[in-house]
Amino acid sequence: MSRIETREMAMEFLFQSFFRNDPIAGQIDVFKENHPELAGDETYFVDMVYGVVNKRGEIDSLFEPFLKKWKLERLPLTDRIILEIAVYEISQIEEIPTSVSINEAVKLAKKYGTENSGSYINGVLSSFEKSH
């Protein structure tokens, strides 16, 4: 499984977990059972999910100043989660180049977001990167 596919699975998981109150550990176990293809990059997936969930407030506060005429609570949930994943990677995982995190976030936004999500996320992350 490629890293972009793992990010996509993390995005799907984080999206569904946003609507559930079950403990994250149990949700991860069920998700892994239903997605055996994660076995190749399971550690990265689990680290990403826990990292975003446990640091959500901190991560959101890092990119929120760059939301250009939007409030966090009005942002489409898919865009928010894609931003959270990218900002988590940029701020917490040194071995992943920032440009890779941004490019893959834009790809996910184009696939799952609105017509303007790709360029919007690119702008937010580029502004964040310059300040980081």
Q: Return the domain boundaries, the chain.
A: 3-131
Q: Please provide the distance, in angstroms rounded to a whole number, between the alpha carbons at the two ends of the chain.
A: 30
Q: Give the model's pLDDT for residue 93.
A: 93
CA–CA distance, 84 with 76 (Å, rounded to integer) = 12
Mention every residue, 6+ apart, whose C-beta is less than 8 A from residue 23.
none
Domain 3-131 has CATH 1.10.940.10: yes
Average pLDDT over all residues of the chain: 94
CA–CA distance, 15 with 20 (Å, rounded to integer) = 10
How far CA 100 is from CA of 16, 94, 104, 105, 130, in Å, comes to: 25, 12, 6, 8, 15
69 pLDDT band, cuts 50/70/90, is confident
Q: Give the model's pLDDT for residue 113.
A: 93
**pLDDT above 90 for 39:** no
pTM: 0.95
